[in-house]
Amino acid sequence: MQAQDPLAVIDPALIKQAVVALKNGDLVAIPTETVYGLAADASNPTAVKKIFTAKGRPADHPLIVHVAAPSANDDSAAQEAAWFNLLTPWVRDLSEDAMRLILAFWPGPLTLVFKKDKHVLSEVTGGQDTVAIRSPSHPIAQALLRELGGGLAAPSANRFGKVSPTRAADVRSEFDDLPALLVLDGGDCEVGIESTIVDMTSNPPVLLRPGAITPNQIQSRTGITVVGLDQRSNSGEDGVRPRVSGSLKAHYAPNTPMRMYAPGGLYDCLAEYPDIKSRVAVVMWESERAIGGQSNHMEWHEIAVPLSSEAFASGLYRLLRDLDDQAWDLILIPEPPTGQEWDGVRDRLQRACFGSGPSESNHVKS
Binding stretches for Mg ion (CB under 5 A): 156
Residue 346 binds: one of ligand TXA, Mg ion, none (C-beta under 5 to 8 A by kind) = none
Contact, 321 vs 170, CB < 8 A?
Answer: yes
Residue 257 contact among Mg ion, ligand TXA, none, beta carbon within 5 to 8 Å by kind: none
Residue 142 makes contact with ligand TXA by CB under 6 A:
no
By CB under 6 A, what part of segment 21-40 binds ligand TXA? 32, 34-35, 37
Smallest separation (angstroms) from Mg ion to the CB of 175:
14
Residue 208 near ligand TXA by CB under 6 A: yes
Q: Is the dihedral of CA 291, 274, 335, 362 positive or negative?
A: positive
Q: Could you tell me whether strands 110-115 and 130-134 are parallel, antiparallel, or unpaired per DSSP bridges?
A: antiparallel
Identified binder of ligand TXA from the candidate list 23, 49, 61, 100, rule CB under 6 A: 61
Q: From residue 45, how far is each of 48, 139, 210, 363 by CA, in Å?
A: 5, 27, 29, 31
42 lies in the site for ligand TXA, by CB under 6 A: no
Minimum distance, C-beta of residue 185 to Mg ion, in the bound complex (Å):
20
- Only one of the segments 131-139, 309-317, 334-342, 348-356 lies at the binding site for ligand TXA (rule: CB under 6 A); that segment is 131-139
Of 118 and 290, nearer to ligand TXA (C-beta) is 118
335-to-127, 284, 302, 343 alpha-carbon distances in Å: 37, 10, 16, 11
Contact between 341 and ligand TXA per CB under 6 A: no
Q: Does 148 bind ligand TXA (CB under 6 A)?
A: no
The closest of 171, 169, 146, 143 to 156, measured between CA atoms, is: 171
Task: Provide the residue type at 207 as one letter.
Answer: L
When binding is defined by CB under 6 A, the residue of 22, 140, 197, 260 that contacts ligand TXA is 197
Length of the chain measured in residues: 366
Does position 155 interact with ligand TXA (CB under 6 A)? The reply is yes
Q: Which does 357 bind (CB under 5 to 8 A by kind): ligand TXA, Mg ion, none?
A: none
Q: Reply yes or no: is the peptide bond before residue 204 cis, omega within 30 of 0.
A: yes
DSSP codes of every residue in 251-319 = -SB-SS-EEEE-TT-HHHHHHT-TT--S-EEEEEEGGG--S-SEETTEEEEEEEE-S-HHHHHHHHHHH
Residues that bind ligand TXA (CB under 6 A): 32, 34-35, 37, 61-64, 111, 113, 125, 128, 130-132, 136, 154-156, 194-195, 197, 208, 242-246
